[in-house]
Structures are given as structure tokens and as C-alpha cells.
Chain A
Amino acid sequence: MSPQELAEAIIPATADTRRRPPVWRFLKGHPQAAIGAAILIVFALIAILGPWIAPYGPREQVGPIFGTPSNPHPLGLDDAGIDILSLLIHGARITLIVGFTGALVAVLVGGTIGIISGYFGGRLDNLLMRVTDYFLVLPDLVLLIVVASIWGRSLRNIIIIIGLVYWTFMARLIRSQVKVVRERAYVKRAQALGASHLRIILRHVLPQVLPLILAQTVLMVALAIFLETAISFLGLGDPNAPSWGRMIENGFDRSAISYGAWWAIVPPGLAVAIVIMAFNMLGTAAEDALNPRLKVSHLLRRHFRMRPLPDKDAAR
């Protein structure tokens, strides 16, 4: 060994032996992510502990119609005399579950198609992207009205609709990332060694795009919650599941406004807005930290701008 090589052997090229900043370092470096995460933890706890911490049941009449906010009912009562705070707490669970599973469907479908399309390229890629384009140009609202009226109004169907509407974003994004990773020399090296496609995808490609997928999933949950609220607001929600969106819809439907009962609409609207904002803060920061060049959070913004649904005003 030459002295040069000996020196190289003893002194590592870089002193930093940590590969990726741990979660806390990320949160520390991104205050907005920390705030978002904190808010989400609170809401997650509420959702998990809902049945135990809600003062009343979600169908329990405990006072007069549109009873005003007062001591035992800090957020007042709705059109059926049900405690709004309790409804809000029970609704958190439904809203978050729909948001997460809807996003998960979108991510699983979109991610799988994106990875296959990006990795294999060629004709398969063309075909899959054509299918994706069809879904992309399909107006979301029309799609969801049609699907909801054909399949009926249930949570499962709402989750499927959310998946149908959003998987295309995921597919396109993951595809473009995988296309880049696929060309990396270490992927070529694995091919030259005779590694199977599955092995290359699982061992070399997926780990590389996984952080991005996670960041996108967080943003996707925000979109999913937004869509669930919109679906419910249009009266296509699951009648048996009092999500926040259903609460807002119910408030409008029973003319809470003409009764002056703002408390039937504002609290669930605020809850939706805060949760979406928290997911957005966390997801955008994660996206920034992971890949400053590649972003889709603008999609989220454009998406909200393009589809100003009536409940947005209430949500403010």
C-alpha cells in the first residue's frame, strides 16, 4: 500500500458518518413541520381516544335545537340537539380514517403504477401513462357524483373515489422520479450482475423514492380530507358516519345560518382547515428537505384554487 492509500484507508473521506438526519433533527430545522406535526398528534389523539373523551354520544339529544354555546355545551347544539363538541370529537376519527385510507389507496395504486411505468419504460409506460391521462382529464366532481350515485353513499365508496381521483398525481410523480433513479449507474450495475427486476425495484429503486412517497402521502392526506369534506358537503357522504364534512353539510341543510347558529358550521369548518393546514405544513417541509428540485405541493395549492367549493368559505 502506498502512503497515499494508507492515509485514505485510515481517514474516512468525510467525517460525517450519519447518512440522513433523524426525524427530530428534521423537525428542529423546520419549525413549520414541527408545528404541523404537533397539531396532527393532538388531532390523532382526539381521534383515537374519541369515544372515551367525548362528553356525549354522536346521536344523543342533550338539549334544545340549535342550543347556543353555554356551560355544559361549549360549542352549542345542532339541529337535533346533539352536542357539537362531541360530534367534532367523534367526527375526527371518521375524517382522519377516510383521509388516511383514501390517501393510502391513491399512494398504493399511483405508486405501483408509477414505479412500473417509470422502471420498465417503453410501451408499458406509454400505455399506463395514457390511462393516467384519461383519469387526469376526467373532472373530479363529475366522477365522484357518478360514482357515488351508482355505488351508493358509504365510507368505503368515498375512500375508493378519493383513490380514483388522486392516484394519477402520485403515479406521475413517482414515475418521473423512478425514471431518474433507473438511469443511475448502481441500477445498471445491479442489472449487469443479473439481478431480477423485482430485486432492483425493491432494493435499489424503492428505497430511493420512499422518502418522497412518504412526504407525498402526507400531502395526499390533506387532499383526501379536503375531498371527503367536499363530497359530504355535496350531500354524497355516508349518512351514517358523522364526519366533519357531514356536519358542515348538515348545518347548511338545516338552515343553521338563518337560525344564526354559526356554531353548527364554523367549528367543523375550522377543524378541517386546521388539519389540512397541518398536513400541508408537514408535507411541504418534508418535500423541501428531501428534494428541493422536485415538488408537488404546488399541485395542492392549484388544486384548492381550481375547485373553490362552497364549504371553503365556511372553512375559513
Chain B
Amino acid sequence: MSEPLLEIEDLVVGYRQGRKGVVQAVDGVSLAVAAGAMVALVGESGCGKTTTAQAAMRMAPIASGRIRYRGADITALGSRALRPIRRELQLIFQDPYESLDPRFRVRDTVLEPLQIHGIADDREGRMRRALERAGLTPPELYLDRYPHELSGGQRQRVSIAAALALEPTMLLADEPVSMLDVSVRAGILGLLDDLRRDGLGVLMITHDLSTAARYADRICVMYLGRIVEEGPTAEVIGDPRHPYTQALLSVVPRPDPDDAGEPRILRGETPNPADVPTGCRFHPRCPVAQDRCRTDDPVLAPAGAAGHRAACPYA
């Protein structure tokens, strides 16, 4: 694997909540994405996926940890110094109904990044190429439309085109299809896959393990602000080690019904980052929890094949 483009190291993000508390939305996450690779960050709602991506974009309050881009530490860069980075790192938002300014025509939305970064030469050409690359062909058909005149899938393509206009090296896609019709999801995911093949690094956030299994090279499974299992896709899917990953996988429909194991339905409530359990944070819901799990907080440790790690001593 080549030199990573984006590295996140021991990231901790805390949001102030009310007067007293701080919610540790992300609590020690590390991951790396290389050019031409797609890494999937998988986890249930509220586990801190969006916060991780926003912190990587320096849009969330980082309490500790490092963000590196092409080896350079960008954790503490001021907004001026961040500008060139913002040209290369692009965030794609979950909700294409919300992420496009309703007053902007497609043309204006795709031109805006070029204006922001003062790119004057061949704006029109760049804009058209970006739209074409995002699958909106011919661009003329879309240029003068407002977001409300586009379907959800088209809107997400406009959003991607706006990101591509700056010819970035890395995309962070935050659940890019979860708000879309099932029928257009594959198209958008295929587009991201093509971009990855063209050499972009992609961090794909999803709560759907089967999407991750289909497109990603590596999978990071996140639970309550931490990565509890990570490794090459084939490893994590074929030989899941953490009980949480196993539970997630057991509810994914499989092509071969005979192959399906018992679905493991997780007990307990969806976790609350304001109230993290002691010991292993998964223990209240873990089907195989031991006494020690209440007190000992496991760290990621090698499990199974090379590059595969899980945060459970019983993995």
C-alpha cells in the first residue's frame, strides 16, 4: 500500500453538553486512507462517524489526537493555512436535500468551490468536466436547474460534482446514499468506486455493513466513539472477531440462505456517548460478556490474519 493520504491518530472529540458535561463523541479513533483505496467506517447511529469525518476536515472541536494529510500535521493549522488542504480534501454530505443551497442553480453550486479558491482559468470547462465525471451528462441539461428540480440521486451527483471541481485527492463521503432511493444507491456508490479506481482516496461512512463489504478495501467498525474492529474487508467479513461485528454481520441478509447463521439480535439500548459503560463499552449488550469485561477496557489487538485487529480479549 502506498503512503497514506489521510491519517487520523488517537482522535478524541468532545462536545459540550449543557453546563456540566462533555460528550466524548469520538474517543481515540485511528485510521488511515491511502490514494486509490476505499476505507469504510461502519457503525450504528450516534457512534461518532460523522464527527470523525468532520474532525478530519477540522470542522469539529478536536480535544486530542492528530490529523495528518500527506504526512503533514494539520491538527492545529489556522484557517488560512487550511485553505489548500480544503481544496484537496472534500466532504460529501449525507443529505443531498439539505446540502445544496436552495437558491443556487447547479451551475452556481459547482462554480462556487472554484470561486472560493480563486481558480480563474477555464472555470466553465472545469465545471462541465466535473458534472460529466459525476454522471450528469450532458451538463447543459442540468446547469440551470435549482435543487428542487432535481431528484435525490441527481442532487447527490451535483454535490459530488462540486467536490470534484477542485480536483481533490481525497473524498470523505458521509453516508452518501442513506437518504436516497434504493434504486439510485448503486449508481452513486459505483461512481465513488470509479473515482477510487482513478486514484482518489475515499473514506466511506456507512451504517450498512453489506455496502462496506461490497466496495471497501478496509473496514473499520465503530462502536460508541471507538473502533472495535478493523482489517481488510475479506478478513472482517469472512472472519469477524469482535462480538459486535459478529452481531452486525448476523443480521446482514446473505445470498445463500443455508449459509446464514443464527441472527444475533443485540440486547439493550442503543448506547449513549454521554454515559459510557465502564470496562468494555460493549459489555451491556455483549452476548459473550465475562465478569472481567465490566472493569477491563480492551484495546485493539491483532486478531486473525495480518492487519486484522479487534478490541476484545476473547476475540
Contacts and interface: CB of A to CB of B under 8 A. Distances in A.
Contact of B148 (A5, A13, A195): A13
Interface residues of A, number: 29
A90 B266 CA distance: 79
Contacts of B305: none
Given A4-B183, A4-B184, A199-B116, A192 B150 contact: no
B101 interface: yes
A305 interface: no
Contacts, number: 86
Interface string A201-212: 001100110000
A138 interface: no
Nearest to A15: B149
A194 B86 contact: yes
A2 B93 contact: no
Contacts of B135: 1, 5
B99 A12 contact: no
A255 interface: no
Interface string A182-197: 0011101111111110
Interface string B94-127: 1100111111000000001100110000000000
A5 B184 contact: yes
B98 A185 contact: yes
Contact of A17 (B59, B112, B149, B183): B149
Contact of A194 (B116, B136, B153): B116
B87 interface: yes
A25 interface: no
A189 B99 contact: yes
Contacts of B93: 185, 188-189
Given A188-B59, A194-B82, A5 B153 contact: yes
Contacts of A194: 79, 82-83, 86-87, 116-117
A186 B97 CA distance: 9
B219 interface: no
B146 A193 contact: no
A291 interface: no
A258 interface: no
A186 B99 contact: yes
Given A1-B135, A184-B98, A208-B103, A193 B113 contact: yes
B148 A189 contact: no
A9 interface: yes
Interface string B144-160: 01101111011000010
A193 B100 CA distance: 13
Interface string B173-211: 000000000011001000000000000000000000000
A186 B98 CA distance: 6
A202 to B, nearest CB: 12
B72 interface: no
A5 B150 CA distance: 11
A199 B91 CA distance: 19
Given A185-B98, A192-B86, A195-B116, A9 B103 contact: no
B141 interface: yes
Given A192-B57, A194-B86, A13 B116 contact: no
Nearest to B99: A185
Nearest to A9: B141
Contact of B112 (A1, A190, A191): A190
A313 interface: no
Contacts of A28: none
A8 B183 CA distance: 12
Contacts of B141: 9
B90 interface: yes
B59 A191 contact: yes
15 contacts: A4-B184, A5-B153, A5-B187, A14-B149, A16-B148, A185-B95, A186-B100, A186-B101, A189-B91, A189-B99, A192-B90, A193-B90, A194-B116, A194-B117, A207-B103
Given A13-B148, A14-B149, 19 more contacts: A1-B137, A9-B136, A9-B141, A12-B149, A13-B149, A13-B150, A17-B146, A17-B149, A185-B95, A185-B99, A188-B59, A190-B112, A191-B59, A193-B86, A193-B90, A193-B112, A194-B79, A194-B87, A203-B101
